[in-house]
Amino acid sequence: MNKQMLWSAARPVVLALGLASLSTWALAQAPQAFITGNGKTVTSADVQADSQRMPDDARAGYMANTKIVQELSTNLYVRRVMAERGRQAGVDKSDEMQAAIQIAVDKIVSDAFLKKFDAEHKPSDKAITDLAKAQYQAEKAKFAEPERVRAAHILISGDSAESKAKAEKLLKELKGGANFATVAKANSEDPGSAVKGGDLGTFSRGRMVPEFEAAVFGLAKPGDLSGLVKSQFGYHIIKLEEKLPAKQLSYAEVESKLKEQATNELVQKARTEAVKELTEKMTVNKDAIEAFSKQYEAQAKTQAK
């Protein structure tokens, strides 16, 4: 396991004991008992703490749902009572269980410390901007949009003579001035686009089957119609709505994305340096590790069969 992996393992995913910051409501209110029984109590503080494992942008929605809050409270209550019974039965006394408990506690506390570490090592706006601009200049070609088109089509599926004849009839109507969207809605056998008048949106090369791509990118100007285009799906009639040439995106157009990447990179750099400092001071007992792994060789070979 490399240093990057070591630090990744310490990233905050769940703060099950609520070591992350609590909501304004939770800080302003004394914990309220939600469930009591068997000598145990589950409070609002317990639920608030447990909710930290939820995504930040979804937590409030979950907590606003009384059914979910009751389910969380019930789960915590059952777990708490069962844990007490487990302690009474002595299941927590083994070396393996004590190690598992310590690992769980270490993870919770280290996750909380990592949040504190990130806050204390937050990169400056200048450092973020400088790195974002440097990355833009170094990888400018990556921030270019390829040629794109916006198009609509009518599909008559199948490769029979009847299918071809129907497509030819529709093409003749369109060349005679019929409204493309109206004809598409009434006749196209591509249900996804037919309801939108055949509209396929904007796309670049590589998104459509080769025959379709060659035809649509070969059209010169908005309003142009293709002839019949045969593909594995049947016969297409394509209308070019807009042609967008390839262009280089300006720094301003990608600034937000670049700054987000730069921020993550700088935060990760600080974490990596911290891990390096820790791992430089550790002593690895390779003989013990090898002996430990050797115990599992026979089992691993059996499972691999």
**pLDDT tens readout for residues 205-251:** 999 999 999 999 999 999 999 999 999 999 999 999 999 999 999 99
Which candidate, 157, 161, 227, 244, places its Cα nearest to that of 192? 157
pLDDT of 36 higher than 90: yes
Specify the higher pLDDT residue, 77 or 302. 77
Query: Band of the pLDDT at 299, cuts 50, 70, 90?
Result: confident
Please name the CATH architecture into which domain 147-245 falls.
Roll (3.10)
Residue 232 one-letter amino acid: Q
| Phi (first) and psi of residue 131, to 5 degrees | -70, -40
pLDDT at 182: 98
Specify the higher pLDDT residue, 16 or 31. 31
> Tokens representing 97?
């269980």
Prediction pTM value: 0.58
Question: Angle CA(199)–CA(205)–CA(210) in degrees, nearest 5?
Answer: 85
Burial (Cβ within 10 Å: 0-12, 13-18, ≥19) of residue 196: middle
Domain parsing of the chain, residue ranges: 3-114, 121-141+254-285, 147-245
Q: What number is the average pLDDT over the span 243-262? A: 96
Query: Band of the pLDDT at 28, cuts 50, 70, 90?
Result: low
Local structure of residue 94 (DSSP, 8 states)? S
Q: In whole angstroms, what is the distance from residue 83 CA to residue 108 CA?
A: 18
What pairs with residue 234 in β-bridges? 157, 231
Strands 40-43 and 234-244, sheet pairing: unpaired
